[in-house]
Amino acid sequence: MATNSSRNFIQKGRFQRVLDAVFDFISTHRLFILILVIAAIVWTWVFNQAIPYFEQGVRPFRAAWNGAGSIDIFGYTLHYEFEGWADYDYYYATWANQFLKGLMPYTESFETIVVRSREYAVPYFFPPLFLYLCVVGALLPIHPYGIGALISLFGFITAFPVYGIANYLANNRTRAALSAAAYLFNPLVLYHTTFEWLNPAPFVFFIFLGFYLLMKQHRLSGTLAVITAALFKQTAFFFGLPLIAYLLKRAPERGLEQPESDSNTEENDEEAGDELDLFGFVKLALLAVAYASIASFPYLLDPGTYLEYIFQRAGATLLEDLSSPPAGNQPITFTVLLIVLGAPPEITQIVNLMNYYSIGLLVGLLPLFALMLFEKKNDDRLRSYWKRMFFLTMLLIIWLHLWSPRGIYKYYLIVVIPFLCIFSASDMCSSNVAISKSRIMSIINPLLMTILLLIPSRNVYLSFLLLIFLVYLFHRPLGQLYGFFKNRLSSLIRIHR
């Protein structure tokens, strides 16, 4: 009898501890949870708004609103071009149907369909995991919206690693919640992810999950998450550069990091933890290769064809007509901006060739990768290290989209938006700031930058992406200039009171 009473007491004690832990978690992250609840309602509403548009279409071109239009503001007409696409029905649903029919990707038979006696080309050149996601979505009992639901779900849960990374780097939960809100209510993310149901969301989730795990010193799981992202979309390959730069350094000891001050004092042991660890790197690299190989089975049985589809099939864009912008279905390269600006043909052609042969891409990527490799990793100041590394990663990804040999569409920028929401002000870009304060600019700045990308014509928005890159590159002097004018304005207000 006494034994049963003791067991009941222990079970009640465990239940109480679990209950206390749940309430403590809710209390600690209540602002983030509130944002998630509101965002879930908004995302569901936006998703449902796309369905009537989709149902009005005809297979294989069913799609939501293409995002083009105009609005009159104080007598002026503002034209906007969100750049929507019919990829969901034309490609994603088709790929799922082809696979369910028993056709294998990376083969000629997989690449064509016949609808109403007309043949359409539907080449598949993503890594295999995105195809599997399409298949799972097609099997859900909400056909034909299952794939869109999964894409939207991945887009929504990306808020969790965004919150985690922002909380780690800012050392401020309120600031992190504002970053998550800036992401969840971002118009570019809402439109292209949960309205158009376009493909980046799954790979973006695993990228940010991977780097969050790396920041929390989970090297293996973080590495595998980044590899998982690469098995969804090739853009993730470029995140391998910061991953390599980090994994080459000795792993920090768990719990070693100490609270960091807000000063610029010199460290006693500036290079503690900065030693090379080639053995550890090779071990993780072999595990990553093994994991990617297993996920790529059975396509690796024909490695030449598989690798050709993954690395070469998408191709690069070399514009032949430099007198006018390319057709509306073509990706945009930096060359298009020069065409619109009326630059001399010789300069335009040089940029055209630099883009096609990846010269422009390498001009930015190599210095940024070198900075990552030589960034000092002090295990007593890991937060400062990661703030700098992740900032360089953002610059690298923006540069990639500026100089992508293939060119880009606006929805590719979904991967850029979480960076803008995390690095929303100059204090977050500085590794010397230990605690970033909560401020409304954490929401306003990402929104303003997104508007510059989402609204303008597809022929000119790369100019605004370049502007954003330059703003981040020179964030220190710009932040100082902003602080100067802010202080002067505050002084003038006090004088006139």
Q: pLDDT of 442-473, one tens digit each? A: 899 999 999 999 999 999 999 999 999 999 99
Residue 69 β-bridge partners: 80
Q: pLDDT of 173-201, one tens digit each? A: 999 999 999 999 999 999 999 999 999 99
Domain assignment present for 354: yes
Domain assignment present for 246: yes
Before 60, cis peptide (omega within 30)? Answer: yes
Torsion, Cα of 160, 163, 164, 169 (10° steps): 160
Residue 485 in this model has a pLDDT that exceeds 90? no
CA distances from 21 to 7, 8, 27, 177 (A): 21, 20, 10, 20
- Distance between start and end Cα atoms, the chain: 77
Note the pLDDT of residue 265.
Answer: 42
Domain assignment present for 52: no
Radius of gyration of the chain (CA): 25
Distance, in Å, from the CA atom of 4 to the CA atom of 350, rounded to the nearest integer, reads 83
Distance, in Å, from the CA atom of 410 to the CA atom of 331, rounded to the nearest integer, reads 9
Domain assignment present for 430: yes
Q: pLDDT of 74-108, one tens digit each? A: 878 888 999 999 999 999 999 999 999 999 999 99
Note the pLDDT of residue 264.
Answer: 45
Model confidence, pTM: 0.92
On average, the pLDDT of the chain sits at: 91
Domain assignment present for 107: no
Domain assignment present for 130: no
Domain assignment present for 308: yes
Note the pLDDT of residue 263.
Answer: 43
Residue 492 β-bridge partners: none
Instruction: Please check whether residue 158 is in contact with residue 325, taking contact to mean a CB–CB distance below 8 angstroms.
Output: no
Q: Which domain holds residue 486?
A: 233-253+273-496
Domain assignment present for 58: no
Note the pLDDT of residue 197.
Answer: 98
Residue 119 β-bridge partners: 114
Q: How many distinct structural domains can be found in the chain?
A: 1
